[in-house]
Structure formats: structure tokens, C-alpha cells
Amino acid sequence: MAGGGYEGGSTYHAVGNPREIFHWRSHMKLSRIIILVPALLFIVPLFTHYYLSKVESDSPSIDIHRTRSKLEAFEDFTSMKASDLKSRIEEMMRIKISVSNELRDLEAKRQRLQVEVTSFTQRIDDLKQELLHQQTDLDRLKISVVQAQVAQREAVERNTPELAPPKRILVDYAPSFVKNTNDYKACKMYNCFDHSRCALTSGFPIYLYDPDQFSVVNPGWDVDGFLKTTIKQTLGYNPHLTTNPVEACVYIVLVGEALSIEYHGSSYQSHPLDAEKLRKLPYWGGDGRNHVLLNLARRDLSVSSGNVFGSIDTGRAMLVQSTFHRDQFRENFDVIVPPILGPPGGDIWQDCPSMLPARRKYLLSFQGEMKPLKSSGTTNHVDDAEADLERLAIDENNLDTFIIQHLRDMTTGITLDKFFIQFECIPASDERKSTEVLDWSLCGTDSSRKSILKDSTFALILAPSNVTFVTTTSMQARLYEALRAGAIPVILGGDQVLLSYDEVIAWRRAVIFLPKARVTEMHFLLRAIPDNDLLAMRRQGRLLWERYLGIAQGAVDTIVAVVRDRLGIPPLPAPQTPSPSIFNESFVPLKGENIIAEPEAEESLGPLEPPYPSPSFRRNYSTFLTQGHIIWNDWADPFNLYPQLPYDTVLPSDAKFMGSEVGFRPIGKGAGGAGKEFSESLGGNHPREQFTIVMLTYEREQVLINALARLFGLPYLNKVLVVWNSPKPPMEDLRWPEIGVPIHVIKALRNSLNNRFLPFDAIETEAVLSIDDDAHLRHDEIMFGFRVWREHRDRVVGFPGRFHAWDQNYHNAWNYNSNYSCELSMVLTGAAFFHKHYTYLYTHWLPQAIRDKVDEYMNCEDIAMNFLVSHITRKPPVKVTSRWTFRCPGCPVSLSEDDTHFQERHKCINFFSQVFGYMPLLNTQYRADSILFKTRIPHDKQKCFKFI
């Protein structure tokens, strides 16, 4: 009982407790209630019917009416219960619908909240990214502010104002008349030249007397027609020429080559030069100061035609010719020039043989014979006493006979070397009857002499036996022919003669000078010179010949440059290529949205500074103080930093100027990085410097826009020049990105790859980054390349390296190779830094045949630039970073993937080497990497860099 009562009580408590009932109901699901109610409605009537049937069968005696009343009462009760259940069911259905609607609203609200949370999360990420960029920009601006403050303090301490190009100062009056004092034989620049007409800022204007209008030769003589036309034409190209004689600094008079048009017997009857006509020149000024008299030989290479000023009073005028007596030549006043034996201008590389091999068939060659004194036009003006003095001036200890005998013995001696020595002309000269030996004449024809010199390692040039001559026309002609053929001149008696432009050209780099007494040691000396020195001298000789001797324009321009150099006047700027915009003046290109660049490395790449040009004026004058003699032409320099270039380099290293203009104090604390301290350590007079990007494109708008967008925020960038090579202008709806610096789109005159290297006037910096529109470079790579270039300003510094190789097995020619290698000889200009100066040399100095070949193939312009720089500097390019290839996902198929592209580059290398006369490219295994640059080198390439 107790157990049962406990269980019963427990059961009641579990079921009857209202709190438990509510808990049970709350857990009962609506679906179960719906199922339970129909079940009850079906089961209850069934049991009721069964019960009544049983009762009626078991109690037949019961009153049927009483039974029916009970049944009706029960049915009423059942129907009442069913109606209550129905109402409850309907109520529950309403509750279900309400709950469902409420749940649906809650789900929609939850989804909206999730979308808002996602958008807010993305916004937070964007703000974090923007904050990072803003913080980077702020750090750069802080660095810029610090650098600007330091630069301001340094500027105050130096107290050196920033100078602009000065105004041109010109005279406005003709030379005044000054009585000639007849002391012209002692003329120097300080006592015979009027410097007041040639201010430093005058630009050195020169005036040419028209030879057709102002002839200074006697009747019966005339100036060579070729020289008349050529001098007028070549000086017309010279930027210093002026048509206003009043403002001129120098007046040029063409005297000859004067040719006789009237003969009387076998000699000339009059002197070619008319002194009276000379003195009547409108700007002669009484004494001829600031006048330059040109006597240029061409057809007649005899001594008599080369020296027409012997008995003429030329006053204080400068004499320019190929033949001078020792007592006539005024050093550093008169000018020795070569005879004009070449064409007026143009390419002359076809006249030169290959520089290789270093040693040729003949070790030494000479063709010539002793030429007697020739009757000249000065016969009527030189008396017998003066002729006797000239004869006595012949060296009493004449070594010519001994030299001739020794050279003959040397050719017949026991030696493996071959010589070609000829002391008699065949056929013999009719002028050999006289015993008064004066000079060595040329034998044979130009072509016959050229064929011998092409097979000669050295060409012998004998100084005149008459020591009264400091130089002669025939000797200058021999020098011309030797350098043209690549035969190294050996001047026996070189201690007694002077060569053309001797005051500015270091001839010892191309010519061997020996005293005549050294003739017995000459063979030993020539055999002792190694091959590399032979090639260096031959290359230098060809460079001098092409620039100063080979064409008339080079000779005339050099005469002007020599006089200007004496006065310390910088040349006029070289002509720059205009940069017309592709857009009309009224058209405003659309600007795109600012593009957030990818985050760069943690290292500070440098400050973002407003564009400022490289200094382009002050260095003009300091060059004269630091460089000494200059011998290049007026067209060679971009910003006149080097008015004329040294003969063996295109740009002197900035290390020569380290600390020469500005003395910097260390301001850093040794933290390292890419700041101003690093820039100062590069030396030179450019502690702050920027660069210009030149990008060539052709109908690849989207690729171009993407490439420009990647430049956003690039430090030290001055501007971007886009050379639009396509004849179709860009689409009007094209949106150009805002990258923080100007984007100048240049309209090209024609589709040419040479446009990449035009000296555009829009380039205001020395550093130029040439880059393809499909090249992908990170900012840290560009900045590192810029730093390396600043340490190697005279080289091509870039990223993709290539090399050349000699194919001896198949084609016996040079091949272009782009495979991975442990060495390189070229850096492609699709991603490379170089000095703007090379754009001038490429456009104005490089042989036209090379640029024509680039246009023919639409290829090889990068190879041509590497040839040019290596030829001038004799240094290989510098490759930076370790990236092996450059890829452009989504770009059209590149030309470099076509096999024809490589075949053309093979041909280009061989043609360019033919034009230069040798292979100027130099191999190197050097590569510049930043100390902290993360480099992954393939295992099979690690051996290449083991010791680098």
C-alpha cells in the first residue's frame, strides 16, 4: 500500500502540477495536436456506437424510449464537444498562420542584417586599406618636408642663387677701323682677337662672306666649285651661322682651294690671293681681327697649293689650312685642318673595311717617292735669298737616305712579317730631276693605295725632309687614307710635326709618333703591341676619321668648334624634337577614377615630389673648368653639360665631379634606407633628381591605361610621355588615369620604332626610363633601377637581359640569344634607364643606315641603342634585379613570340656590326641587386652567381 500510494502520489504530482502541465504543453508541437484531434473525433464515436450496441443487446428488457433519451443526450454532448474542438482547431490554425508570418518577417530581417553586416565589414576593410595608403603618403610627405627643410638650409648656407639661362648679348656695331701694326707674326688670342664682340652669352654668331660675292683671288684664279657649294651648305646647317654681319663674332672668308684657269708655260704667273681685295672686305676693320681665312685643299695636294699665305699680309686674321711653315704657324691661333677629300656629308661607313682581324697581311706598308721643290704661284713674290734660306733649312743631318736603306733591309731580312715598301712611283714622276727634296708624294691612285692599306696593320708616314714645315697637305692626306682603311698610322719624325686640330684631339690614342732616329727600333715596337691595343687604336682612328676627316661638314663644324672652345663659349643647344599632343587644343581628355595601387614593400621608396627639371644651364660653363679640351661636335649634347664630348667616352662619370660643386654634411643617423643620404652618396651635382618615362604604344588602349595606372604614386617620377605611333587617334571616351604627374601623349609623325629614342623637348630630365606598355614592373624595382643608373649614368641600366654569340658551326655569323645565361651583353630598352644624351646621339649621330634597318624590320631599335652605348663607352650594360621574363596576361600576342622576329634580330646584329666595323657589344656576368632584395634563383642557375 505504501509503495502503491507513493507511486500514485508521485504520478499525480507529475501530471497534476500546473507548472509541469504548462511545460508539457509548451513542448508539444502544433502538428501533433492537429493529428491527435482527428484521431479523437474518429475513435470516440466508434467506441460510443460499440458501447450502445452492446448495452442494447445485453438488456432487452430496458425501456427503449429511455435508452433513446440517453443516446440523444450523449449525442448532444458529443456534438457539443466536437464544436469546441473545431473552434480550438481553428484558433490553433490562426495561431500557426500568425507564427509563420512572424517567422517569415524575422527571417527577412535577419537576411537584411546579414547584408548590412557584410557591407560594413567590406567598408571597414576598405577604410583600413585607405588608412594604410594615407599613412604611407603621410610618411612620404614627412620625408619630403624634412628633405625640403634640409635643402633650404643648404641653399642658404651656399648662398648660391638658382640661375636661369641669361639673355643673349650681341654687339650692334660693325668692327671699327684699326691701323695694321704689322706684328701679326706674334699673334695670339689675347692680342689679336677682339673678345668684346664675343660675349659668353652671345651664342658665338659667325658670318660667312659669300664666295661668289666677295672673291679674294686674283684674276685667272677661281675657288674650287665643290668647295664653294659645300662650305656654304655645311655652314648653313651650323646653328652658329648668322646672316647679320653686324652682330657676328667671327667672319669666315673662303680663300681656296684656288685653281688657276690661265696657264703660261709650266708655271703659274700670279699669286692666287689678292691682298688688296682682302683688305677691302667690308668688315676687315683694317687689320683683319676676328677673321678666319679658309684655305682648304681638295684636288691639288702639293705644298704650293696648300700654303698661299706665305707672302701675303693677312694681318690679325686666323689662317686655316693644311700646310704651314714653322715660322708661319702661330700656335693656338692658326688652325691645321685636313684636306677635304670626302663627300659633303652623309654615311661613310661603307668606305671603311672591317676592323678585324687585328693583324693583317702586311705589318707595315708605304708608297711614295721624294718630291722635288715645285714651282709655285709665289715665284714672283719670293726672292732668291728667301729660296736659298729655304734650301738651307733642309736638315743637314738628313736621315732619309738612311731610313730608306734601313726599310729596304728590313723587308729583305729574315722575318716572318711581311712588308709592302715602295719608294718609287710607277710610272715615275716627271718632277724628279731636281735635287732639292721637299716632301713625299703619293703614288698610284686612291683605289690602289686603299687596297694596300686595307691589308696593312700599320701605315708608315714620313715627316717632311724640310724641317721648316710643321705640316704638309700630302702628309695630312696620308693620315686621312690610313685612318679610313683602318691601318694604324706610324709617323716617323712625329716629334717635328703637328696634325689636324692638334690642340683638342689626343692623336696618340690613334697614331704612333716616333723620332726618325728610332727607325731601327720601329720593327720591334710594332711587333710588341698586343692585339687588344691594336684594335683600340684602330677603333679610335676610325672614330676620328668619321667625325673630323671623312666628310666636309665634320671638318667645317670642327673649325668653328675649335675657335669657340678657345673663347670658352658653350655651344647652342642641340635641336630637340617637338612633342605635339595627340589631342586638339579644344579637346579635354576624360579622367578616370583614382586607382588604389597594390601595397608596396615596407621600405620607403622615396618622397612624392612635384615635377622639377634637371639642371640644364650652369654646368655649361663649369665643364670648361673640369673637363679640359673638348673635341666633339655642337650637336652631341642634350643639355650642354658636355659641350663637346671626349673622344673615347660619351659621358664622363659623375664620380669625377663628386663633391665638386656642393659639399654635403651627413644628416642621417645610420638607419639606412632610400632617403636623401643615399642620394647624396651617389656624388655629382644632382643630389635631387627625377626621371621621365617614355612609353611607346600602338592601338592597345586598355593595355596602355593599365600600364599607366600602375605608375600611381611612383616616387621621383617627373612625367610620362606616351608616343602614340598609330595614325588613328585614341578613342574620345577613353579615360586616362590620374597618377599624380602629367601624362603627355605625343602624336608621332609616322609609325617607327625609332620614335622611342627621339630627343623630345618635353623630356626635362637627364634620366629616361624607356618602357613597353605591356611590361610589368613593381615600384620597388623601378626605384632600385633608378638608383643603380645614378651610379652608372653613362650606361644602359635595365631589367631584361640578352646576349649575342658567334655561330661558328652553321652560319659563321653573330646570333641573337634570349635564353637564360650566366652572362649578358644587351639590356632591352623595353624596360631600361639611359641618359637623354643618347637620344641625341641615336637621332643625329648614329649612321642613318641603322635607323633605316630598324624601320625596314620594325624591329631591333633596342639592339641599335645597345650597340651605340657600348661603342661610345666601351662598357657593357647593367642588369638589375633577378626577374627573368616579363609577362602580360591578357595582352595580344607579342611579336617576340614569332620566329621571324628572332631571325630579323640575327640579321640586325650582323648588319650593325658591319656598319660599326666590329662587334661593340661587351659581355658581362655582373648584375646589380639590392642588399635586401628577395631573390629566388633556380638551382641550375645558382652557379652563375656564386662569386658575384
Active site residues: 862
Closest CA to 544 of 360, 348, 357, 362: 348
Strand-strand pairing, 488-492 and 456-462: parallel
Written in H, E and C, the secondary structure of 125-141 is HHHHHHHHHHHHHHHHH
Residue 318 burial (10 A CB sphere; 0-12, 13-18, 19+): buried
Q: What DSSP string runs through 787-839?
A: HHHHHSTTS-EES-EEEEEEETTTTSEEEEE-S--S-BSEE-TTEEEEETHHH
Estimate to the nearest angstrom the gap between the alpha carbon of 566 and the chain centroid.
30
Strand-strand pairing, 767-772 and 831-835: antiparallel
Closest CA to 489 of 473, 512, 505, 520: 512
State which amino acid sits at residue 61: S
Place of cell 687614307: 481
Place of cell 641618359: 835
Q: What is the CA radius of gyration of the chain?
A: 47
On the CB side of 389, how many CA atoms lie within 13 Å of its CA? 7
Q: Which residues pair with 325 in a beta bridge?
A: 469
By three-state DSSP, how is residue 639 classified?
coil
Identify whether the C-beta of residue 487 lies closer than 8 Å to the C-beta of residue 362. no
Helix axes 473-485, 531-544, angle to 10 degrees: 120
Distance CA 684, CA 648 (A): 21
Strand-strand pairing, 250-256 and 291-295: parallel
Report whether the peptide linkage leading into residue 372 is cis, meaning its omega lies within 30 degrees of zero: no
Set of cell numbers at residue 794: 653613362
Q: Which residues contact 821 (CB under 8 A, 6 or more apart)?
A: 803, 944
Identify whether the C-beta of residue 692 lies closer than 8 Å to the C-beta of residue 769. yes
